[in-house]
């Protein structure tokens, strides 16, 4: 059972890598009729709704790619847990459904400038034309697999916090975006695990059963990987814009 638990973790690991004066943002928000914290939170909700569209369509003028589906041609993964060591790779991986998120809550603070949010994604699929991994568990057990990667997350929750900074020219940038990912249910349909059909079937059943618990344990690592991607895209979108211009862009 210990071997199979680590097998579940190894498979899930493949889906996962001048100080401003913040007081200056308050007068700007007041000038735009956002007079209390609730109003700022509502503004950010509108921004999130528009970001859903950006995830699907991208923005060619700004060089922003489509994020749903999020496509990764090739990725090498090092498995360096205390009891699990080895290498893994995925080819032509797609993450589908991230833009269907539903906003559960958004709470903004103006000093320090940050926002806490809670999102729910009804269904997310992770597909890869090819995955391969080979790892040792506790220097005793050999774990390997190669084939097609197919996993679905049901009712995935993204709980996160974003921090921002405003410089002397009123330009805003997101300095930090942390995400924690959990799922109510995981449906696994990999091929080629242990190069044995019966063992592969059993492993998929175990991943589906224990996957949510494993994802809860390592959801911060996976969340931070995608959080950094989203942070870079947001900063590219708002680069050079003042707080006033960002507010106008959201409201337009």
CATH number at residue 25: 3.15.10.30
Rank 95-109, 165-179, 216-230 by mean pLDDT and report only the highest.
95-109
- pLDDT score of 54 more than 60: yes
Of the candidates 162, 130, 153, which has an alpha carbon nearest to the alpha carbon of residue 51?
162
Phi-psi sector, 197: left (phi>0), alpha (psi -120 to 50), beta? alpha
pLDDT value of position 120: 96
pTM of the predicted model over 0.85: no
Q: In this structure, what token pair is assigned to residue 229?
A: 């991607």
pLDDT band of residue 53 (cuts 50, 70, 90) is: confident
- pLDDT score of 1 more than 60: no
pLDDT value of position 125: 94
Alpha helices in the chain (DSSP H): 2-13, 25-31, 37-57, 197-238, 243-251
pLDDT value of position 24: 42
Distance, in Å, from the CA atom of 66 to the CA atom of 236, rounded to the nearest integer, reads 14
Residue carrying structure tokens 């597909």:
127
Q: What is the mean pLDDT of residues 214-230?
A: 78
How much of the chain, in percent, has pLDDT values that exceed 70? 80
CB 164 within 8 A of CB 109: no
Distance, in Å, from the CA atom of 245 to the CA atom of 241, rounded to the nearest integer, reads 6
Q: What is the mean pLDDT of residues 57-64?
A: 76
Distance, in Å, from the CA atom of 114 to the CA atom of 165, rounded to the nearest integer, reads 9
- pLDDT score of 28 more than 80: no
Of the candidates 101, 105, 120, which has an alpha carbon nearest to the alpha carbon of residue 183?
120
Number of domains present in the structure of the chain: 1
Q: What is the mean pLDDT of residues 170-198?
A: 88
Phi-psi sector, 3: left (phi>0), alpha (psi -120 to 50), beta? alpha
pLDDT band of residue 83 (cuts 50, 70, 90) is: low
- pLDDT score of 33 more than 60: no
pLDDT value of position 62: 65
pLDDT value of position 38: 47
Residue 216 domain boundaries: 2-251
Q: Is the peptide bond before 69 cis (omega within 30 degrees of 0)?
A: yes
pLDDT single digits (tens) 143-153: 788 999 999 99
Q: Is the peptide bond before 152 cis (omega within 30 degrees of 0)?
A: no
- pLDDT score of 210 more than 50: yes
Residue carrying structure tokens 């109510």:
184
Q: In this structure, what token pair is assigned to residue 139?
A: 């220097």
């Amino acid at each position: 059972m210990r071997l199979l638990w680590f097998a579940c973790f190894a498979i899930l690991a493949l889906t996962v890598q001048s100080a401003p004066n913040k007081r200056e943002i308050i007068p700007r928000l007041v000038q735009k009729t956002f007079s209390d914290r609730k109003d700022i939170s509502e503004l950010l909700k509108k921004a999130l709704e528009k970001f859903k569209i950006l995830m699907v369509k991208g923005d060619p003028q700004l060089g922003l790619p489509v994020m749903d589906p999020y496509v990764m041609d090739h990725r090498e993964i090092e498995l360096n847990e205390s009891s699990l060591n080895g290498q893994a790779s995925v080819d032509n991986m797609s993450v589908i459904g991230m833009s269907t998120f539903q906003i559960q809550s958004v709470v903004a603070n103006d000093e320090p400038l940050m926002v806490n949010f809670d999102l729910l994604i009804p269904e997310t699929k992770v597909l890869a034309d090819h995955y391969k991994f080979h790892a040792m568990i506790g220097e005793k057990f050999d774990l390997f697999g190669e084939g097609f990667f197919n996993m679905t997350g049901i009712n995935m929750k993204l709980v996160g916090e974003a921090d921002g900074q405003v410089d002397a020219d009123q330009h805003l940038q997101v300095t930090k975006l942390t995400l924690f990912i959990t799922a109510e249910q995981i449906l696994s349909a990999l091929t080629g695990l242990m190069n044995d059909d019966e063992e592969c079937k059993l492993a998929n059943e175990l991943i589906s059963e224990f996957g949510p618990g494993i994802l809860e344990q390592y959801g911060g690592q996976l969340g931070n990987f995608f959080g950094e991607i989203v942070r870079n895209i947001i900063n590219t979108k708002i680069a050079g814009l003042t707080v006033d211009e960002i507010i106008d862009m959201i409201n337009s």
